[in-house]
Amino acid sequence: MTIESHILIIGAGLIGLCTADALAARGARVTVVDARPGPCEGTSFSNSGMIHPSQARSWVPGVKETAADLDAARVSVELAMRSRALLLEKIEHFGLPQRTSGCLQIQPDIETARQVQSVQRSIGVRTDIIIDPIESFGLPACRFPDDSSGDAQAFGCALADDLLARGVCFIYGAQDLLIRRAEDGFLLRTSDQLMAVDQVIVAAGVGSPDVLAQLSVRLRLNAVSGTAADFALPDDMSRLPSCPIMDAQSRSALTVFADRLRVSGGWGEIEPRAIIDRWTEIAPDLFSRLKPPLSTWTAKRPVSPAGRPYISATSVPGLWVNTGHGHMGWTLCAGSGELLAQMILNGRQDDRFTFAG
């Protein structure tokens, strides 16, 4: 296709915005449409902030990991490392805070930590083991030095402003979106817009299957809820961990942002009580110093059955998908956007994240 083609992206979350960024940087004409009033108001709103190639293995519980799964995780680690490099560059460009000191993951004991270290190293994730009174609350933990962190929602808003200034069009509040195939592309209709476009990228997170169904394309995607609670920072900051810390048992994390502390995650939880209780158990001294949460939040992650994203063409010419990033959407957004832009504009053949429908 030529870069003069008009590309519509459905979804102004991290994935849609980063895809718009990569396409616009290559000269494409892009419009982003979203049902919500602004950018990053869906699952990308209040996540744990970790840019964590270390978590590329599937989080789907109860599935025994095979050699093929580990091969797949290795591929995801590669994309995550590329994505991380792109993201850190952009975060710096926008002058936003970032932490590049890694992430930790608490382990039940040293033996388990060693086992995790061995598997992580086998998929290309540098891992060491620490026990530190402040960083890991005195518990054994794996440290992943190549992980980073930053505020995903602040990044998404800065990117959306930047894209607007670079000529990308945004349509927010687009309720009742209808999409149809037309002779030379697609026809988009919302409550107050009618637009013809040449190509469509569905990056609508958990809304993606419904959008694709309008074009008779079936996408298998699970919606797995997660939750967050934000606390004001305690008065004594000297005893806070310097990087995000995860707990494998509750699939949650504690992250210190510039102006607040967040515990977030969970797999299927719709309110943060259990996660707060778990972190109170892990870090009783810290939680005794916190006031009640300032706010809480719940959202659904788009999770593919294999636990890997779909970054791919579909059976409909000109229709693409970029979704299914599960617990990895912040980590993978920039790399996924770049990969899809290369596929669309440069004809790059890449079947690592193919969607069969």
Q: Give the nearer residue to ligand FAD in terms of CB position, either 99 or 301.
A: 301
Distance, in Å, from the CA atom of 307 to the CA atom of 300, rounded to the nearest integer, reads 14
- For position 14 contacting ligand FAD by CB under 6 A, the verdict is yes
Considering only 20, 32, 49, 217, the residue that binds ligand FAD (CB under 6 A) is 49
Distance, in Å, from the CA atom of 160 to the CA atom of 147, rounded to the nearest integer, reads 24
Residues numbered 296 to 355 that lie near ligand FAD (CB under 6 A) are 299, 301-302, 323, 325-331
Residue 323 is given by DSSP the state E
- For position 219 contacting ligand FAD by CB under 6 A, the verdict is no
Considering only 36, 114, 181, 352, the residue that binds ligand FAD (CB under 6 A) is 36
Task: Write out the two tokens for 36.
Answer: 């919500």
Distance, in Å, from the CA atom of 324 to the CA atom of 86, rounded to the nearest integer, reads 20
Q: Give the nearer residue to ligand FAD in terms of CB position, either 94 or 172.
A: 172
Considering only 31, 48, 83, 98, the residue that binds ligand FAD (CB under 6 A) is 48
Q: Give the nearer residue to ligand FAD in terms of CB position, either 127 or 148.
A: 148
Considering only 56, 125, 158, 203, the residue that binds ligand FAD (CB under 6 A) is 203
Q: Give the nearer residue to ligand FAD in terms of CB position, either 87 or 290.
A: 87
User: Smallest gap, in angstroms, from Cβ of residue 110 to ligand FAD?
Assistant: 26
Residues numbered 155 to 174 that lie near ligand FAD (CB under 6 A) are 174
- For position 243 contacting ligand FAD by CB under 6 A, the verdict is no
Mark out the alpha helices in 42-141 (DSSP H runs): 67-93, 110-122
| Cβ-contact 15, 40 below 8 angstroms | no
Distance, in Å, from the CA atom of 171 to the CA atom of 313, rounded to the nearest integer, reads 24
Question: In what helix (H) or strand (E) does residue 190 lie, and over which residues does it extend?
Answer: strand 185-190
Q: Residue 128 pairs with which residues in a beta bridge?
A: 143
Residue of 122, 139, 144 lying closest to 55 (CA atoms): 144
Binding site for ligand FAD (CB under 6 A): 10-16, 33-36, 41-44, 47-50, 52, 174, 177, 203-205, 207, 210-211, 226-228, 264-265, 299, 301-302, 323, 325-331
